[in-house]
Chain A
Amino acid sequence: MSLMLKNTINGLDKILFDEIPKGSVILVTGAEGTLKSGLVFSMMTNYIAANDEHGLYVTLEQNVESHLRNMNSLGIKEEGGLHIFDYRDMRLEWMDSELDLIKTTEEVIDSYKEKYDNLTLFALDSLNALYSISEHGNMRNKIYNFFSRLRDEELTSFLIMESAQSRISGQFSQFHQIEHFLADGTIELGMIEGKGGVKRYIQILKMRATKHAMEKHQLTIGDNGINILGPIY
């Protein structure tokens, strides 16, 4: 039975009323510990498990083993059709060379698409790591072309971006405004301290061509994985 992305997380349909159009590029932002990787990986594994499709999760921050350990600790299981690619070996073996990681990531995507015709989902964890180890020259153009490439390939893409904005000023730094402008959607994850202690939330700030709620909803993690509960006021 096929599954829509909006039904991959328990309660996600409370905030996402239509299906995300294929080929959308979605930013998933938030401070550390807000479950960005867990949310994206969970959506992808559940989608892949129910549909006869493939996905590619590229991690620059961790190697495959530590990423999977992390996901297992959240109750999220590995799925055969979701391929995880890390840069550990490449970066260690080519330590003395400068790698253009955006171009290399595009080649990695092409290689997996060659192998798996029905590669439909892509995630990059994270854009911050990509920036920190890339040459910054002409980055705006590179990012623009990268986003266009993902759309042209009809890959529904999740780009994870750590952002300190939600805790401090409520404003995105200038460096990161370009991604928000270019992306088709922005999902923000964060934490709110209230009477009952600290709660995690999810909020869809933007999702082109898709009806969605604007409120912050509570995000919890239980034995059955990630759940989205009611609005937080």
Chain B
Amino acid sequence: MKTSVENVADLCEFQEDNCKKFVDKIIKANREIFMMSFLLKKQMCGYDLIKDIFSKCDVFLSQGTVYPVLYTLEDEGLLHAEYSKGDMRSKKYSLTLNGREIAEKDVEDFVKALEQVSLLLKR
């Protein structure tokens, strides 16, 4: 049984061309959850997140949509930010304990919601 987080990654990696437009919409509309699910794996800066989401999901989240989410999550105490040692050019974000709990729960709920929607559509 895969974990929820891996299921979200599956959604990204195995999308077929004809469902790309829907995956694109889903990821853009729910970018906060996707960004947190990527941050569950490792600490990242805004640039890394945009690059990783693009390479894994083939969806480009623009800078103006990613950085505000990072800053508001930091304000809410869900992310911790620090500059890399010796590199003041990139601010790396990691989930706080509270942020990790919320991210795991949200990702799990999100995957369930997608499964329910999928069942509803197949009826």
Contacts and interface: CB of A to CB of B under 8 A. Distances in A.
B65 interface: yes
Contacts of A92: 88-90
B75 interface: yes
Q: Enumerate the 4 nearest inter-chain pairs by beta-carbon distance, A residue then B residue, closest first.
A: A107-B64, A111-B68, A104-B64, A93-B47
Interface residues of B, number: 17
Interface string B7-18: 000000000000
Contact of A90 (B67, B69, B72, B75): B67
B71 interface: yes
Given A83-B75, A99-B63, A104-B62, A90 B68 contact: no
A15 B88 CA distance: 45
Interface string B75-111: 1000000000000111100000000000000000000
18 contacts: A83-B71, A85-B71, A89-B45, A92-B88, A92-B89, A93-B47, A93-B89, A93-B90, A94-B63, A104-B62, A107-B62, A107-B65, A110-B65, A111-B64, A111-B65, A111-B69, A112-B72, A115-B68
Instruction: Determine the main DSSP class of B at the interface with A.
Output: helix
A112 B68 CA distance: 7
A128 interface: no
A89 B91 contact: yes
A79 B103 CA distance: 27
Contact of A89 (B64, B67, B69): B67
Interface of B: 45-47, 62-65, 67-69, 71-72, 75, 88-91
- Interface residues of A toward B: which range? 10 to 19
A105 B46 contact: no
A58 to B, nearest CB: 10
A46 B69 CA distance: 25
Contact of B64 (A93, A95, A106, A115): A106
Contacts of A111: 64-65, 68-69
Q: Give the most central of A94, A95, A105: most B CB within 10 Å.
A: A94
